[in-house]
Amino acid sequence: MITQIGALILATSGVQFATGFFGTFISLRTALENFEPTMTGAVLSGYFAGFTVGAFFSGRIIERFGHIRAYAAFGGVVAAATAAMPLIVSPLSWLILRVVIGLGCAGLFVTTESWLSAKAEPAERGRIFSIYMVGTFIALALGQLLIGYVDIGSVAPFNIIVFLFALALVLVSTTRAEPPRIMAAPLPYGRLARTAPVAVAGAVLSGVIAGAFYALVPLWMQGRGIERATIGLVMLAAVLGGLAFQIPVGRLSDLFDRLIVLTLLGLGLVGTTIALVFLPRALVAILPAAALFGGFLATLYPVCVAHAHDRMPAELVVAVSGRLILLNGLGSVLGPIAGMAVIGRLGIDGVLYLMSAAALLLALIAGTKSLTSGSQAHQERPFEILAPQAASVAHESRSRRDTPNSC
């Protein structure tokens, strides 16, 4: 069992390494191809659109075909679409291919996380998912470093990505699967919005900020004349900042009102975003700001998830997480599109103004709600280290672990 789990985590870390590199690379490559701003935003948003659709439908595919065959299918789709991109260079074709890639990546993550939930013993699930998320953050960070060492105008980056996905398929296809039993109570869409409106708004707005950041900030840095190696280091600092903030912010959100924590995170994002506009283009100035920005950004979503679960009954844990994943994905789709529209009006710094406005809006919503509703009592499910794609399964496994008759 340990070998199987290790292979899954290693394979998915390779996938995250590829996606971390891919996200920054495609932002820079679209600039080289001179796509018009609207289509550039659409291409960059395509991944998030596909990911959202994939997260919604992939469970049915896994149930029908099994984990190993589903993983192979999703990985093969991503590799094929990536290999096709340098062969068909046009905004529309790249938009379609990026949607396909996002759909396949969502399927890979859902397959992996449900598989880990089934393989890990109940007493070990929290530790296993912590290892999984740490591996995810490290792989995403390392993927940024690759930007400075490849020719982004060649086919080499596409080949590297295809190689990493193929390697993941080899690792996973040599293991045995035990399909998990996942049962979730239904949740009407309106109920979550009425009961936890701040979590709903936070999921959407954090998605807008994250989508704009990962898709457009490399483009912003390139437009400001920053070297590609430096761009990779800045993105690396942001990812590592996100990892470093998880535990301290999580502890604060478990000790104090989560709405106040969300307000402070939003204000922190506003400050660091504006600082990035005016800071000198030296690493000693940019890297600390990028790390702070990444820390504030990466903790917004898990605090929203924890706040939602404070307000909702325990039997709706899985459904709540699934709704928040969908909302976060929709926000991630809107982020690059809105960012490119703002850039067209305000110039290249417009993307940072957009992220600052979204963060300020979230801070105002959370702060106002905190003042009008008072402090909310926390449930027994505390803050956990989560990325949007991990939330559903991680909370599902905790829910099953706390149920005496669960499998």
Please write the tens of the pLDDT for every residue from 186-221.
667 688 888 889 999 999 999 999 989 988 888 888
Q: What is the mean pLDDT of the chain?
A: 81
Same domain, 303 and 171: no
Checking if the pLDDT of 315 tops 70, the result is: no
Same domain, 212 and 143: no
Same domain, 110 and 257: no
Cα–Cα distance for residue pair 401/343, rounded to 1 Å: 47
Please report the pLDDT score of residue 232 as a whole number. Answer: 85
Choosing from 178, 202, 230, the residue where a domain stops is 178
Same domain, 27 and 57: yes
Cα–Cα distance for residue pair 173/21, rounded to 1 Å: 24
The domain spanning residue 317 has which CATH number? 1.20.1250.20
Angle at 224 between CA 214 and CA 209, to 5 degrees: 25
Checking if the pLDDT of 390 tops 50, the result is: no
| Residue span of the structural domain in which 367 resides | 187-407
**For 51-65, 89-103, 311-325, 369-383, which range has the lowest pLDDT when averaged over its residues?**
369-383
Indicate the number of domains in the chain: 2
In contact, 198 and 304? CB cutoff 8 Å = yes
Q: How confident is the model at residue 355 (pLDDT cuts 50, 70, 90)?
A: very high
User: Can you tell me the mean pLDDT for 169-189?
Assistant: 64
Same domain, 171 and 211: no
Please report the pLDDT score of residue 268 as a whole number. Answer: 95
Same domain, 6 and 155: yes
Which ranges in 85-124 belong to alpha helices (H)? 91-119
Q: How confident is the model at residue 393 (pLDDT cuts 50, 70, 90)?
A: very low
Q: How confident is the model at residue 354 (pLDDT cuts 50, 70, 90)?
A: very high
Same domain, 74 and 121: yes
Same domain, 319 and 253: yes
Answer whether 0.75 is exceeded by the pTM.
no
Choosing from 131, 151, 178, the residue where a domain stops is 178
Span 56-66, pLDDT tens digits: 787 778 778 87
Identify the residue with better confidence: 122 or 106.
106
Residue 137 CA, chain-centre distance (Å), reads 10
Burial of 214 (0-12, 13-18, 19+ CB in 10 A): buried
Same domain, 130 and 215: no
Please report the pLDDT score of residue 407 as a whole number. Answer: 33
Please report the pLDDT score of residue 392 as a whole number. Answer: 37
Same domain, 164 and 218: no
Choosing from 178, 207, 233, the residue where a domain stops is 178
Cα–Cα distance for residue pair 47/99, rounded to 1 Å: 5
Residue 263 CA, chain-centre distance (Å), reads 21
Same domain, 151 and 231: no
Please report the pLDDT score of residue 129 as a whole number. Answer: 63
Same domain, 17 and 140: yes
Q: Rounded to whole angstroms, what are the CA distances from 138 to 61, 163, 199, 244, 380?
A: 29, 19, 27, 11, 29
Please report the pLDDT score of residue 186 as a whole number. Answer: 63
Residue 175 three-state SS:
coil
